[in-house]
Amino acid sequence: MRTPQRSQHDVVVIGSRCAGAATAMLLARAGHDVAVVDRSRFPSDVLSPHGLVRGGVVQLNRWGLLDDVLATGAPAVREVTFRREDTQITRRIKERAGVDLLLAPRRHILDTLLVTAARKAGAQVRTGVTATGLRRDSAGRVVGLDAHGADGQPVELTARYVGGADGLRSRTAGWGGAQASESFTPDTATFYMYVADPGWPAYEFHIAPKAFAGVFPTHGGEGCVWLARPTAAFASLRAAGRDRVAALVAEIDAVSPTLAARVRSGRITSVVRGAAHLPNYVRQPVGPGWALVGDAGYHRDPITGHGITDAFRDAELLATAIHGSLRDPADEHEAMAAYHSQRDAALRETFDLTKALTSFPPPDRFVELQIQLADALEREASHLASFPAPAGMAAVAA
């Protein structure tokens, strides 16, 4: 039997995408010994329409990473267009909460940038390493992680805290016994593809009966063009095989002929990707020695999207709680309980709006709910901008 590679840390994070890399970066900037493991290697893509609302941009700005993201070629989006039938309204993004733009960077670029920022802060990032279980002491508290490398080499990491940022089907949640306080699975599906050339100056949202389509401008002059509908409405697309691109364009044409015409005038640069019947849940995010962040702890349907913004918000809430607990173990219970309550309060309104929107109510009601969502997300951005500077940011700024 091969001898395990052993190391000891303050915190081990499982998963190094948006939630995990951000959590590790913030804790490393605060001076803690952090290790991150991820079975993926970077750069690599992930299933995600990847639009950031204002709150996500606020977080990048507060962390000193906004200019880095823009330097990758992610376009600064300063307009939002809403279209319903023959009515179209375009609005300028006003400066609020310290930012005046939106972003939709490709995930293989954004995730790699965040991993790099975590490494620069001092975190040890180990890709190609698969977690296999949590290590516990005699009292049942989590005290580390078992894993193995790509070559099968066993790995043992000891830590005072283990953070699970391993996504929608989080194994950390299962190992920790995290229970869902609420959940539902909507009868919805979202599919998307990338289209270049016609020019995508704005975030776009197209509303029709039982349908919601849109565009997020991204790198290379491309737009992430997406469509959400009840799952049954996608029967022909899901059976289209190699003709999925044409099938998705036809579905978009039925919802918004103007958007479909622009797609046809451009150059489709990807296959069709998407998912149906995604679970929506709120999980218990903390336990003895472990915590969940990002999709591992909370997930909502892409119809309200913006999971990256949720991940950034919760990464800072968790990093703040762990930082306080590491400084004074006597404060652990209060700090982790605060993370739990603050996360639940932050997600409440958007989770409820997601449930309402996934029922695809009549267009007038759908528009009302979208306005409520926009208001909720703007309030959240203002709240995030009011957070004190994360520990270690003074050193970063210097």
Which domains are assigned to the chain?
A: 5-184+278-397 (3.50.50.60), 188-276 (3.30.70)
Average pLDDT in the chain: 95
pLDDT at 391: 78
Which stretch of 278-287, 358-367, 388-397 has the lowest confidence by average pLDDT? 388-397
Q: Does residue 394 register a pLDDT over 60?
A: no
Q: For residues 154-173, give the mean pLDDT.
A: 97
Question: Which residue from 109, 121, 123 is spatially nearest to 70, judged by alpha carbons?
Answer: 109
Question: Which residue from 145, 119, 113 is spatially nearest to 312, judged by alpha carbons?
Answer: 113
pLDDT at 118: 98
pLDDT at 42: 81
Band of residue 398 on the pLDDT scale cut at 50, 70, 90: very low
Q: For residues 209-228, give the mean pLDDT.
A: 97
Q: For residues 161-183, give the mean pLDDT.
A: 97
pLDDT at 305: 81
What does the pLDDT look like over 361-392, one tens digit per residue?
999 999 999 999 999 999 999 999 999 998 77
Asked if 67 contacts 44 with a C-beta cutoff of 8 angstroms, the reply is no
What does the pLDDT look like over 65-113, one tens digit per residue?
999 999 999 999 999 999 999 899 999 999 999 999 999 999 999 999 9
Q: Does residue 396 register a pLDDT over 60?
A: no
pLDDT at 284: 97
Q: For residues 192-220, give the mean pLDDT.
A: 96
pLDDT at 395: 54
> Residue 240 to residues 181, 244, 245: CA-CA distances in angstroms?
38, 5, 9
User: What does the alpha-carbon distance between residue 106 and residue 388 come to, in Å, rounded to a whole number?
Assistant: 29
Q: For residues 235-263, give the mean pLDDT.
A: 96
Percent of the chain predicted with pLDDT > 90: 92
Within the chain, where are the H helices? 18-29, 54-62, 66-71, 107-121, 171-176, 235-238, 244-255, 257-265, 307-327, 332-357, 363-385, 393-397
Band of residue 49 on the pLDDT scale cut at 50, 70, 90: confident
Band of residue 393 on the pLDDT scale cut at 50, 70, 90: low
Which stretch of 176-190, 246-260, 291-305, 383-397 has the lowest confidence by average pLDDT? 383-397
